[in-house]
Chain A
């Protein structure tokens, strides 16, 4: 398994500001992902965080809005830029060492006023 921590665990932000969420894993992993879970909904993949290169974004998500960094095999950040109330969600980091098992972090609960 993998132990994943996210910071902050929750935040309340004003519209127009940006928030950077950190994801730390206790061991090296091949793949890291960022998901969004809007209230009452299931998870939606935002992007795959690639170590040392630009993230791979899913349809509907762009780098200007959700810049991602992954400087090494155990750490990644997701920034939610120029926030609006529609960005209020839980943001989850997940990791995988192989194609079989994906582990999720505890999530960051974001409320934008």
Chain B
């Protein structure tokens, strides 16, 4: 079954600290993996997208990693800011049926001053 599991479900961090979010997937055949940020009441915004051959990609203070062998990805947030408070969603695209997306349940991050 094609699934995307994220952990933790939620976390609270202090402003300025780093954190890492995890994503495990069983989606096959794999096309690419994306991380989205979704602010409350808004649509998801793409942070990174990685294909099979890429194992790391950065977007400002966000760095995503991908291990296609173990089917794991992580999203590292460096020097967190209050504006990082949001849900972070891991999404895997399948190489079939129009590259359908499988969504993880998301990790809700709260950055406190």
* Interface status of A103 (Cβ within 8 A of chain B): yes
A107 to B101, CA, bound (A): 18
B43 A99 Cβ-Cβ under 8 A: no
A70 to B99, CA, bound (A): 20
Contact with A along B90-104 (1 / 0, CB 8 A): 000100001111011
Neighbour of A102 across the interface among B101, B104, B106, CB < 8 A:
B101
Main SS class of interface, A: strand
B85 to chain A, nearest CB (A): 16
B43 A92 Cβ-Cβ under 8 A: yes
Neighbour of A42 across the interface among B31, B45, B98, B105, CB < 8 A:
B105
A35 to chain B, nearest CB (A): 9
B105 A41 Cβ-Cβ under 8 A: yes
B23 to chain A, nearest CB (A): 12
* Interface status of A43 (Cβ within 8 A of chain B): yes
* Interface status of B68 (Cβ within 8 A of chain A): no
4 additional contacts (CB under 8 A) given A90-B41, A107-B43:
A42-B89, A100-B49, A104-B36, A107-B42
11 A-B pairs in the complex with CB atoms less than 8 angstroms apart: A4-B43, A31-B98, A42-B104, A42-B105, A42-B106, A44-B103, A99-B98, A101-B46, A102-B34, A102-B46, A107-B43
Give 5 closest A-B pairs by Cβ, nearest first. Answer: A104-B43, A42-B103, A99-B99, A104-B44, A107-B43
